[in-house]
Amino acid sequence: MRVDFWYEFASTYSYPAAMRCAALATAAGVTLRWRPFLLGPIFAEQGWRNSPFNLFPAKGRYMWRDLERICAARGLPFVRPDPFPQNSLLAARLALAVPEALRPDFSRAVFAAEFGQGRPIAEKPVLAEILQKLGLYAPDYFDLALGEARAKLKSENAEAVRLGLFGAPTFVTEDNELFWGDDRLEQALAWAQQRG
């Protein structure tokens, strides 16, 4: 039983999902694969050059309040990043560059910096600090981010489009059922369990 966790570092609801999904998957006996991708190119395909939360203000106001409620209920720190959305390209490439076993820790640290502390995750020093805390030599990973991880992110995004992803987070089961949103994590895990 495996579920793929597709997330985007600029995505607000990916933050609370990233902070809880590993624990819930373990409790459910489900293997989780962490798969960062970019929503920007997918949004651009449908004519959006910005986050829908900026393009549609009523939806944006709701989302910020909702995220604040979710974080408060779960005891997660929350600082609204400025600007929003953050440029997540380098963080996504690095997430694919680091050893797979460290990808969850790296990703949680990026989300915590961005949405828990309001730090600018597009900036190299912020990402370098996260890499170093994980015991990784940052310059090596910035090199990888420009090489094979860059190509890998492109192919991952092509796979996201093929699967029909249109938002993040999305949980995808082995039989290609999509569950969109942090609030669907439990259903995705239950689906995987029932068919495991």
* Binding region for a second copy (CB under 8 A): 42, 46, 55-56, 58-59, 61-62, 65-66, 69, 164-167, 177-178, 180, 183-184
16 vs 91, beta carbon nearer a second copy: 16
23 vs 46, beta carbon nearer a second copy: 46
Rounded to whole angstroms, the Cα distance separating 143 from 138 reads: 9
69 vs 124, beta carbon nearer a second copy: 69
Least distance between a second copy and beta carbon 147 (Å): 30
Least distance between a second copy and beta carbon 192 (Å): 14
Least distance between a second copy and beta carbon 182 (Å): 11
65 vs 133, beta carbon nearer a second copy: 65
Rounded to whole angstroms, the Cα distance separating 16 from 21 reads: 9
DSSP 83-148: SSSPP-HHHHHHHHHS-GGGHHHHHHHHHIIIIIS---TTSHHHHHHHHHHTT--HHHHHHHHHTH
Least distance between a second copy and beta carbon 181 (Å): 8
> How far are the Cα atoms of 43, 145, 192, 194 from residue 105, in angstroms, in the given order?
27, 17, 24, 28
